[in-house]
Amino acid sequence: MITSNEKIKLKKYKPTCIWFTGLSGSGKSTLAAGVESKLNEIGVHTYLLDGDEIRKGLNKDLGFSNEDRTENIRRIGEVSKLFTNAGLIVLAAFISPFKKDRDIVRALHGENNFIEIYVDCSLEDCEKRDPKGFYKKARSGEIKDFTGISSPYEVPLSPEIKIANGNERDVDDNIMIILDFLYKGKIVLK
């Protein structure tokens, strides 16, 4: 039987779930896509799970109540586990506002196969960016239960990586911080 360590040596990476969390507009999807691109350049097999895409298909039956948000993250956790079991590095970009839900996904993957990245961007900066116009709609009452406005976001207390995604760093620098972490932690072998 081939051991996990032998598989990692063969593939040159360890199947892992990299979970990007933060407010809407914080840059989670941009960073996840950038990291995925860099990993693919070096031959790492990945899959990017993004909140907008999942809500159009798998979770289109869910709303934004606290219960539906929990179910959304539970389903995504199960899907991401299937992909890591298939030998991929999964990059999951989801607001995932509740600590208990992120903890459930972490437990599902196991402590050594899950990396939480908190994309720390102030509500003010996220509202300025507002690429989809959600904050404007939430402030006007068109969107109810919007994370950061009328629904809470529980900041991760001890993520593996915290990315300050205000104006002080560019996307490429933040991608390199994440890649360096993956190399140092031997998630990706050089």
**26 is a catalytic site residue:** no
Other beta carbons less than 10 A from residue 139's beta carbon? 14
In this structure, whether the domain defined by 15-120+153-183 belongs to CATH 3.40.50.300 is answered with yes
Assess whether pLDDT exceeds 70 at residue 145: yes
For residue range 9-66, what is the model confidence (pLDDT) as tens digits?
778 899 999 999 999 999 999 999 999 999 999 999 999 998 878 888 888 888 888 8
Residue with tokens 């050089």: 190
Closest CA to 153 of 54, 24, 20: 24
Task: Average the pLDDT over each of 64-68, 88-92, 177-181 and give the range with the smallest value.
Answer: 64-68
From the list 96, 122, 150, 151, the catalytic residue is 96
CA distance 178 to 78: 24
Domain residue limits, the chain: 15-120+153-183
Exposed, middle or buried: residue 181 (CB in 10 Å: 0-12, 13-18, 19+)?
middle
Share of the chain above pLDDT 70, in %: 97
User: Helices marked H in 42-142 — which ranges?
Assistant: 51-56, 66-85, 99-109, 123-129, 134-139
How far apart, in Å, do the first and last CA atoms of the chain sit?
25
CA distance 23 to 146: 10
Amino acid at 131: P
Is it the case that residue 181 has pLDDT exceeding 80? yes
> Which residue spans within the chain are E strands per DSSP?
17-21, 46-50, 89-93, 114-120, 161-164
- Would the pTM of this model clear 0.85, i.e. be above it? yes
Do 119 and 126 touch, CB atoms closer than 8 A? no
Return the SS3 of 19: strand
Task: Determine the pLDDT at residue 167.
Answer: 56
What local confidence, expressed as pLDDT, does residue 59 receive? 85
Q: Is the distance from CB of 31 to CB of 121 less than 8 angstroms?
A: no
Residue 185 has pLDDT above 80, yes or no: yes
Rounded Cα–Cα distance for residues 158 and 73 (Å): 19
Q: What is the pLDDT of residue 166?
A: 60
